[in-house]
């Protein structure tokens, strides 16, 4: 629980800092992301190989289940909110990849582009907050699906901290497959 408080304090401090000053980091975020992935790879490489071998076909099934669940959620949301099925599915198909979803949808509609960005950013934030809490109550591998495509990069450290090496491998492969699939599925949906 202490970790959750630290995450919330860091998020709040970042929001306040962003309001007070607007630093220009340029492409520094990319370097930080690559560094993060490098250290996760080193950690996985040093871990017990038997834990990694436990990962089965489940790894390949989980990302497709995540995409299907997201699309079903988008369908339900579009019915509840009374919006076009096209927009509901497009926003949901982002699976947390807000930096792709928002701009891609914005080419068709600025309003739904903003919605796609915010909904997918919210998915990442919810993963950061919810995964540590739920990891003790729900099996860690299926729980990876809440992070969507972010499990390969930004939410991977959280998943590794509250899971194990096997869970981290599941999360990385899960995020990798979704990251490879989303750029094909999202434009197809937008063509509806």
Residue in the block written with tokens 């339900």: 76
- Position 155 in a domain: yes
Task: Establish if 160 belongs to a structural domain.
Answer: yes
CB 86 within 8 A of CB 172: no
Please list the pLDDT of the chain residue by residue as tens digits (192 residues).
676 677 778 778 877 877 788 767 667 767 776 777 777 677 666 665 565 566 666 778 899 999 999 999 999 999 999 999 999 999 999 999 999 999 999 999 999 999 999 999 999 999 998 999 998 898 888 899 999 999 988 898 889 888 877 788 888 889 989 999 999 999 999 998
> CB of 148 within 8 A of CB of 176?
no
DSSP conformational letter for 83: -
Q: Is 49 part of a structural domain of the chain?
A: no
Residue 58: what pLDDT? 73
Long-range contact pairs involving 131-135 (C-beta distance under 8 Å, separation at least 24): 131/155, 131/158, 131/159, 131/162, 132/1, 132/3, 132/4, 132/158, 132/161, 132/162, 133/1, 133/4, 135/162, 135/163
Assigned domain for 45 exists = no
Our count of domains for the chain comes to 1
pLDDT value for 9: 83
Residue with tokens 């990069």: 153
By residue range, what is the domain housing residue 160? 57-190
């Amino acid at each position: 629980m202490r970790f959750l408080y630290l995450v919330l304090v860091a998020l709040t401090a970042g929001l306040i800092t962003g309001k007070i000053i607007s630093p220009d980091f340029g492409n520094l975020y990319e370097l930080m992301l690559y560094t993060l992935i490098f250290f996760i790879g080193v950690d996985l490489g040093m871990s017990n190989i038997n834990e990694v071998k436990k990962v089965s076909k489940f790894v390949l099934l989980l990302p497709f289940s995540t995409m299907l669940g997201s699309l079903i959620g988008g369908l339900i949301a579009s019915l509840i909110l009374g919006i076009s099925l096209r927009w509901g599915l497009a926003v949901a198909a982002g699976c947390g990849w807000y930096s792709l979803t928002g701009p891609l949808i914005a080419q068709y509609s600025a309003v739904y582009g903003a919605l796609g960005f915010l909904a997918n950013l919210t998915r990442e934030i919810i993963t950061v907050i919810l995964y540590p809490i739920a990891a003790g109550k729900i099996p860690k591998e299926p729980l990876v699906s809440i992070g969507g495509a972010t499990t390969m990069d930004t939410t991977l450290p959280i998943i590794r901290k509250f899971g194990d090496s096997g869970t981290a491998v599941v999360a990385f492969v899960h995020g990798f497959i979704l990251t490879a699939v989303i750029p094909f599925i999202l434009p197809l949906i937008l063509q509806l």
